[in-house]
Amino acid sequence: MKLTLKIWRQKDARSKGKLVDYPIDGIEGDMSFLEMLDVLNEELNNKGEEPVEFDHDCREGICGTCSLQINGEPHGPDRLTTTCQLHMRKFKDGDTIYIEPFRATAFPVIKDLVVDRSAFDRIQQAGGFISVNTSGNTVDANAIPIPKQDADLAMDNATCIGCGACVAACKNASAMLFTSAKISQLALLPQGRIEAVERVENMVRQMDLEGFGNCTNTGACEVECPKGISLESIARMNREYMGAITKG
């Protein structure tokens, strides 16, 4: 395939960025989107030009770093698929592909396609954990019986990879799908109930402090989430929050 890539280039957080055209040839349908960018970067390197900076790590849909806006959609045109698992067969010979960083005030651009998503880390640090005494004997994992439905729901929420596509898809740049997944994975389990009140208060407060917008039930986050996190998680977080402030 012969393609035209229009890629966002930006020197650093303070510089102005712009879309730059890169024609590219010889792209195979079974290449991943990141492999296609590797080909481009090799060409740029060989020409003595600066390669395009983009985030990636596992390349198998686990780590959540490969966050790109492709033709206006976070992670591109496939549903339930991260950028690293998107294949070039989704595009046609002669296509023009726009590649941009995730856009949100709380995700400032570091360089080219790389954004700073440490706001998510700070939300997680505000309460996305349980406190366990690790001295003494290890507690048997099956010592607390948990209804299968709760275990399944907690597991569904635990699949959130913190990629930020929900924020990039949302017209309000809301982080409520991410935050609610991190709250839900613990709120649904007895081990997570002990600190549930402080958790939801602290994580929601941190989410607001980071400058993310609010949820207006548009649902774009759920559509673009590569892990299929449901809007029900946001409803659960809201219930947890209402319960917490009522108790508080």
Name the site residues for ligand FES (rule: CB under 6 A).
Answer: 56-59, 61-66, 82-84, 161
Distance (Å, whole) CA 104 – CA 115: 9
Whose Cβ is closer to ligand FES: residue 126's or residue 161's?
Answer: 161
Q: State the Rg of the chain over Cα.
A: 20
Tell me which of ligand SF4, ligand FES, none is bound by residue 67, counting a contact when its beta carbon lies within the kind-specific cut-off of 5 to 8 angstroms.
none
Q: Give me the least distance between CB of 6 and ligand FES, in Å please.
A: 22
Whose Cβ is closer to ligand FES: residue 13's or residue 58's?
Answer: 58
Residue 135's contacts (CB-CB under 8 Å, 6 or more residues apart) are: none
Q: Give me the least distance between CB of 163 and ligand FES, in Å please.
A: 7
Whose Cβ is closer to ligand FES: residue 90's or residue 195's?
Answer: 90
Distance (Å, whole) CA 65 – CA 188: 27
Identify whether the C-beta of residue 157 lies closer than 8 Å to the C-beta of residue 184. yes
Tell me which of ligand FES, ligand SF4, none is bound by residue 162, counting a contact when its beta carbon lies within the kind-specific cut-off of 5 to 8 angstroms.
ligand SF4
Compute how many other C-beta atoms are within 10 angstroms of the C-beta atom of residue 183: 27
Three-state DSSP class for residue 49 = coil
Whose Cβ is closer to ligand FES: residue 61's or residue 128's?
Answer: 61
What are the residues binding ligand SF4 (CB under 6 A)?
160-166, 177-178, 181, 225-227, 229
Task: Output the CA torsion 35→72→215→161 (10° steps).
Answer: 0
Q: Give me the least distance between CB of 242 and ligand SF4, in Å please.
A: 21
Q: Give me the least distance between CB of 166 and ligand FES, in Å please.
A: 15
Beta bridge partners of 244: none
